[in-house]
Structure 1
């Protein structure tokens, strides 16, 4: 297999970095709703009273 030139490695690194940032930001906003939604979720959230 011929060696890959540095520009190809650089482009792979950029694509990998962008995919990593995009997936992390999507996970953050998917699992953390906005503040307005979070305040409405607190009122409807059920609290569990555990009795051991």
Structure 2
């Protein structure tokens, strides 16, 4: 079984590093989250007081 030369290992390493960076950048910049207006947010707070 032939061994890979060090240059091939380095190129393979760089290839995977570039893939990881591209994947991370795409996940960071292509993440679309729904923006909600503050007027439309109505929080219903249930009273949790003790009834003595």
TM-score by length of 2: 0.62
Q: Does residue 30 of structure 1 match 2:30?
A: yes
**Larger Rg, first or second structure (1 or 2):** 2
Runs of 5+ in structure 2 lacking a partner?
46-52
Where does the alignment leave 5 or more consecutive residues of structure 1 unmatched?
Answer: none
Work out which of the residue numbers 20, 32, 37 in structure 2 matches 1:43. Answer: 37
State the TM-score, normalizing by the size of structure 1: 0.62
Aligned residues: 46
Moved over 3 A (4+): 46-51
Residue 4 of structure 1: how far off its partner (Å): 0.4
CA distance in 2, matches of 1:11, 1:48: 54
The answer to which structure has the higher helix fraction is 1
